Amino acid sequence: MRHAWPRTSAARSKRSVDILALLVIVAVLTAVVVVVSAPLRGGRVERTRGAAEDDIAELEARKEAKYREIRDAEMDLRTGKLSREDHRALDRQLRAEAVEILKALDDARS
Amino acid sequence: MATVGRALLILALAVAFYGVAASIYGAVRGRDEWIASGRRSVYAIAALVTGAFAILEVAFLRSDFSFATVASHSSTTTPTFYKGAAAWSSQEGSLLLWLWLLSLWSSLVLFATRRQLRRVAPYATAVLLGFAAFFAGLLVFRETPFELLAVVPPEGNGLNPLLRHPSMMIHPPMLYSGYTLFTIPFAFAIGALITRQVGAADWIRATRRFALGAWLFLGIGILLGARWSYAELGWGGYWAWDPVENASLLPWLTGTAFIHSIMIQEKRGMLKIWNVSLVLATGTLAILGTFLVRSGILDSIHAFGASTLGVPFVILIGILIASSVGLVVLRRNELRSENRLDSLLSREAIFLLNNLVLVAMAFVVFWGTFWPLIAEALTGTRRALGPPWFDKYTVPLAIVLVLLSGIGPVIAWRKATVSNARRNFLLPAAAAFALGAVLAALGAADRPLALAMFVCGAFVVASVGQEFWRGVGVRRAMTGENPLAALRSLVARNRRRYGGYLVHVGMALLFVGVAASTAFNDARDVRLAPGQSVRSGDYTFTYERATSRISTHDGELEKISFGAVVDVSRDGRHVTTMRPERGYYPSRDLRGLGPVGRFFEGEATSEIGLDAGLRRDIWTAMTPDIRRLLPTIEEGDRVFAAAAGKLPPALEGQALGAALEGIVDKYLADRPQATFRVISSPLVTWIWIGSIVVFLGGLIALWPGPDAARRKVTARYAARVAEDLGRA
C-alpha cells in the first residue's frame, strides 16, 4: 500500500490536471462559438456598405488619387520639373478628369 | 498545458474551415451576418493561436522538457534572452509563429476594412482563412509543437549556438511578418479578381499600406540575416546567394516592383494586369520562401533540413499558381488599361523600366536558386550555381536600378520636356561624374562595375538632395518657415514622396557599400604560428599569442574556447587588437562519445574580431589547430571510461573540470598554429547605415498622414475643382 500512495497521488494529480485542461478547453470552445456565431444569433453586425456605397467609396478613392495627382503636378511645377506651359496643360487635363469623377460621385449619391 | 495548446490549434483549424465556408456563403448570398461571422473567425483564430503560442513560450521559459520541442531546442543553461527566441528555432515553433503573425495581421486588416469593400473583403477573408487552415493543419497533423515525451529528460539539447545572436531574436519575426503581410494584398487581389473589382482604387488604397509594411519588414529581416551572417558565421561575408537567402529576396524584389507600379494604377488606371500579376506572384513567392526553408529540397545552412512538409507546400503553391493564372485570364477584359503612356520621358516610364529590372533580377535569382533542381531533372546531376554566376547578372541590373532610383525623383509624371529634364539632371549628373573622375584617378577605374555603382549612388544622393532642397525652398516661399520647420512640414505633408526618396538614398548607400566591400576587399586565408604576420590591404595582422578558456553557466560547463590575440597595425603603427575565438560546445548526443571528447564533437561557433569604421572594416576569424590535443582527449576519455561508476557524480564532475583545464593549459603551452581568415574591406558599415536610412524612409512613407491636414488640403482642392466645374 505504501508503494501505491505515490502512484495514486500522481494519477489523481494527472487526472485533476486533465480535468482542468478539459474545463479550459470547454470554456474556450464556448467562448469561440459565442463570439463567432454572435452575428448569426442576431447580435450586432457592423453594417457593411451596400453596393451603392461601395461605388461611392470607389469614386472617393479615385477622387483622392486625382487630387494627389494635381498636388504632385503642382509640386513638380514648383520644384522645376514641369514648365509653366506644361503644367497648365496637365493641370487642365487633370482637373477635367477630376470633374468627371465629381460628376460620377454626384450621380452615385443622388 | 500541452493538451490545451493542441486543443487550441485543433479549434483554430476547425474555425478556419468554418470561416472559409461562412465568408463565401455570405459573399455569394449577400448575407452580412455570415460575412461578419467569417470575419470574427479570423479574430477567434488570432486569440486561439495567441493562447497556443503563449503556452509554448511559457514552456520554453520554464525549461519544461516534457515538451519534445523544448527538450531538443533549449536547455536550462540557455540564457533567458534566447529561451524566448528558441521557440522559433524549431520547425514546429516557427510554423506556429507564422500562423500567429498571419492571424494577427489578418485580424488587423479585416478590422480596418470591416465597413468597407463589401464585395472584395469576404473573399479576401476566405483566402486568408485558407492560409490559416493550411498552417493550422500542418501544426495539427504534421509538426505539432505540443508533442510530449514519454520520459522527461533532466536536461535539453540547448539552442544551436549559431543562433545565439541578437539578430536571431528579431530576424525570423521580421521575415515572417513580411511573408504574412504579403498574403494580405494577395488575398485582396484574389477577392478583387473574383468580384471583377480589380481596377478599383478602393482595395488598393485599403491594402497598399500592408504591402509597404510587408516590404519593410521583409527588408529588415533580410538585412538582419545578412548582419548575422557577417558577425556570426565566420566566413566574413554578408550574402552568399544561399537558396534560403534568395527565397526571401524573391518576394522582396517583386514586392518592390509592385509598390512602385501600383502608383501608376492609382494615378492613371494603367498596368492593371501587370500589378495584379505582381501582387499574386509576390504572395506566391512568400509561400515559396516558407516552403524552401522547410522542405529541405535545396541545401542551405539556413534550412530546417529534410522534412515531410514538402508535399503539402507543393500542393498549396500549385493551387496558388493555378488559381492566380486562371483568374487573371478570366478577368482579362476588366484588366485593360484605361490610359496609355504619354511619354517615354516621364516618371511612369521610369517606374515601368524599374519594374522590368526588378522582375529581371527576380527571374535571375529564381533561376539560379532552382538550377540545382532543374539540372537534376535534365541531366540527373544536381549542380549548384555559385556567387560568380549570380553576380554576373545581378550586378549590372543593380547598377541600372540605382540609376533609375536617381532619375525617378527628378522627372515629372505624365510628360517631362527635354529642357526641364536637362535642368534637373545637370547638378546631380555633374556631381556624380565629378566624383567618378576623382575615384577613377584614385584607382577605382580598375573595377569599372564598382565605379559605375559609385557614380550612380552619388547621382541618387545628389538628385534626392536637390529635391529636398527645392522642396524646402518652395515651403519657405509659401510659409516663411525656417529651413528646419520647412523640411519637417514638407515631409509631413508628402510622407509617401519624401519617405520614398529617403528609401532611395538608403538603397544607394547600401549598394555603394556592397560594391566597395565586394570589389575592393582583401581576404586572406593563412596558417600562422604565434609571432607570424600576414598583410591584408594596408594592414598587418600579427598572431601574438594563443588564448583558451572554459565558460560555465549556472555551474555547468558551457563551452571551451581557443582563440588568439591579433595585433593589427598599419605602416608600423598600432591600429587595434582583436581576439577572435572558436567556441566548442559539448555534443548532447552522447552515443559513442567520451565525457572529454564530446566537447569537440558538438557545435562550434566563431567569435570574430571586428574593428568597424566608416571607411573600412577589419575583420578576422580563426580556427585553432587542435590535432595535437587529440591524444590527450582520447586518453582522458579512456581514463573516465575506466573510472565509470567508481566515482561519485560530484567527484566525477570535478575530475572532468580538471581534465578540461589540463587540455586548455596544454593548448597554450604548445604555442599552437591556427588558420586565420583576415579581411580588410572598405565601406561595409555603409551597408548598415543605408539599411537604417531605408528603414527610416519606409517608416515615414508608412506613417499615416495627419487627417486634419489632409482634409484641409482636400477641401481646398475640392473647392478649386468645384470652381472649374462652375466655369465649365
What is the per-residue pLDDT across B281-330, written as a single tens digit (0 to 9) for each?
A: 999 999 998 888 776 666 665 555 556 778 888 899 999 999 999 999 99
- Give the residue among B559, B549, B548, B659 at the shortest CA–CA distance from B77: B559
Q: Which domain holds residue A22?
A: 4-41
The complex scores an ipTM of 0.77
- B369 in a structural domain: no
Count CB-CB contacts under 10 A for residue B715: 10
Cβ–Cβ gap A36/B410 under 8 Å: no
Tell me the one-letter amino acid at B551.
S
Interface of B with A in 165-224 (CB under 8 A): 197, 200-202, 204-205
Please tell me chain A's helix, strand, coil percentages from 3-state DSSP, rounded to the nearest 5. 85, 0, 15
Number of domains present in the structure of chain B: 4
The torsion angle over the Cα atoms of residues B519, B525, B529 and B533, rounded to 10 degrees, is -20
Cβ–Cβ gap B1/A54 under 8 Å: no
Q: Which domain holds residue B189?
A: 166-340
Interface of B with A in 555-574 (CB under 8 A): none
The reply to whether B542 and B473 lie within a common domain is: no
The reply to whether B17 and B148 lie within a common domain is: yes
Number of domains present in the structure of chain A: 2
The reply to whether B3 and B113 lie within a common domain is: yes
Beta-bridge partners for B83 = none
- Of residues A28, A62, A67, nearest to B717 (C-beta): A67
Q: Return the top range by mean pLDDT from A57-71, B339-353, B479-493, B512-526.
A: B512-526
- A57 in a structural domain: yes
pTM value is: 0.88
What mean pLDDT comes out for the span B156-184? 86
- B348 in a structural domain: no
Check residue B555 and report its DSSP letter. Answer: T
The two most distant CA atoms of chain A are separated, in Å, by 103
- Of residues A45, A83, A98, nearest to B721 (C-beta): A98
The span from the CA of B87 to the CA of B96, in Å, is 9
The reply to whether A81 and A105 lie within a common domain is: yes
Question: How many A×B Cβ pairs under 8 Å?
Answer: 157
The span from the CA of B249 to the CA of B549, in Å, is 40
What mean pLDDT comes out for the span B107-113? 92
- Of residues A28, A39, A81, nearest to B420 (C-beta): A81
Using a 10 angstrom Cβ sphere, with 0-12 exposed, 13-18 middle and 19 or more buried, the burial of residue B257 is buried
- Of residues A46, A54, A61, nearest to B205 (C-beta): A61
The torsion angle over the Cα atoms of residues B189, B191, B192 and B197, rounded to 10 degrees, is -170
Q: Is residue A48 predicted with pLDDT exceeding 90?
A: no
Residue B722: list chain A partners with CB under 8 A: 102
Count CB-CB contacts under 10 A for residue B305: 10
3-state secondary structure B314-332: HHHHHHHHHHHHHHHHHCC
What's the distance, CA B178 to chain centroid? 8
The reply to whether B269 and B217 lie within a common domain is: yes
Give the distance from residue B30's alpha carbon to the nearest chain A alpha carbon, in angstroms.
10
Residue B19: list chain A partners with CB under 8 A: 36
Cell 456565431, located at residue: A37
The span from the CA of B324 to the CA of B183, in Å, is 13
Looking at chain A, the whole-number percentage of residues with pLDDT higher than 90 is: 16
What is the per-residue pLDDT across B639-684, written as a single tens digit (0 to 9) for each?
A: 888 887 777 777 877 888 888 888 889 899 888 999 999 999 999 9
Cell 575530475, located at residue: B655
Give the distance from residue B183's alpha carbon to the nearest chain A alpha carbon, in angstroms.
23
- Indicate which of B721, B723, B727 best probes the interface with A, i.e. most A CBs within 10 Å of its own CB: B721
What the block records as the C-alpha cell of B600 is 569537440
The reply to whether B558 and B589 lie within a common domain is: yes
What is the per-residue pLDDT across B596-632, written as a single tens digit (0 to 9) for each?
A: 888 887 778 889 999 999 999 999 999 999 888 888 8
The reply to whether A25 and A73 lie within a common domain is: no
Beta-bridge partners for B526 = B676
Interface of B with A in 26-45 (CB under 8 A): 32-37, 40-41, 43-44
What's the distance, CA B483 to chain centroid? 36
Q: Is the CB of residue B120 less than 8 Å from the CB of residue B71?
A: no
Looking at chain B, the whole-number percentage of residues with pLDDT higher than 90 is: 55
CATH number at residue B12: 1.20.120
